[in-house]
């Protein structure tokens, strides 16, 4: 799971160096100058330029992107939706978990949902949400607060679309957008840890 993310990071870094600093700028990639500002005529409907989206093939190898089509195919089933406020941690029963997926068999169970951001590429990412504050006791199948459930993150480089100015005024030009690379951390699962003890 970590290898595809590292490959994407190396690939985007190499692409950045090849295409020059005027196309990309992000909080974790230092470049000189400003990213190119595209007019509304250059980019119908504000979509990212084709030469930037062509790089998205590597995104398909990352878990947060690869899971989206599966989640959408299943539709709005309960494990894809946000749990209502006050939903208890599930009780694991041996007969139910034998054929369940990993995220349901874990003693720190989680569910996935699709996060959509129209100004980010990829626009849809699968994110994990822990279902318990504690972890499930393997003997009883019930939650124990002796351990804590915490999310596991994968770092991902994405494109961020922002309004920009086509002149020196600095005032955003209607319909004009620029793109820069942004590093984000996406929760991809949950695990059990010892709680931090405050002394």
Q: Is the pLDDT of residue 25 over 90?
A: no
pLDDT band at 15 (very low <50, low <70, confident <90, very high): very low
48-61: pLDDT as tens digits:
887 777 666 677 77
Whether residue 149 contacts residue 190, with contact meaning beta carbons closer than 8 Å, is answered with: yes
60-91: pLDDT as tens digits:
778 898 889 888 888 655 444 455 555 578 88
Q: Is the pLDDT of residue 39 over 80?
A: yes
C-alpha count within 13 angstroms, C-beta hemisphere, residue 193 = 10
- What's the confidence (pLDDT) of residue 184? 94
Of residues 113 and 75, more confidently modeled: 113
CATH number given to 2-193:
2.10.90.10
- What's the confidence (pLDDT) of residue 138? 86
Of residues 46 and 107, more confidently modeled: 107
Q: Model's pTM, two decimal places?
A: 0.70
Cβ within 8 Å of residue 122, ≥6 positions away = 56, 59, 65, 68, 158
* Spans of all domains in the chain: 2-193
C-alpha count within 13 angstroms, C-beta hemisphere, residue 88 = 8
């Amino acid at each position: 799971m970590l290898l595809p993310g590292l490959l994407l990071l190396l690939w985007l870094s190499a692409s950045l160096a090849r295409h020059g600093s005027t196309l990309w700028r992000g909080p974790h990639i230092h470049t000189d100058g400003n990213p190119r500002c595209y007019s509304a005529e250059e980019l119908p409907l504000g979509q990212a330029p084709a030469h930037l989206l062509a790089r998205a093939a590597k995104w398909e190898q990352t878990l947060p992107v690869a899971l989206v089509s599966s989640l959408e195919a299943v539709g709005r089933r309960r494990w894809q939706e946000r749990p209502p406020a006050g939903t208890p941690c599930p009780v694991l029963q041996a007969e139910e978990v034998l054929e369940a997926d990993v995220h349901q068999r874990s003693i720190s169970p989680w569910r996935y949902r699709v996060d959509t951001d129209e100004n980010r590429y990829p626009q849809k990412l699968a994110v994990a949400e822990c279902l318990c504050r504690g972890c499930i006791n393997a003997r009883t199948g019930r939650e124990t607060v002796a351990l804590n459930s915490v999310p596991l993150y994968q770092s991902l480089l994405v494109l961020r679309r922002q309004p920009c100015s086509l002149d020196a005024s600095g005032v955003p030009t209607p319909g004009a957008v620029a793109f820069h690379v942004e590093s984000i951390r996406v929760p991809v699962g949950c695990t059990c840890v010892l709680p931090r003890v405050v002394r």
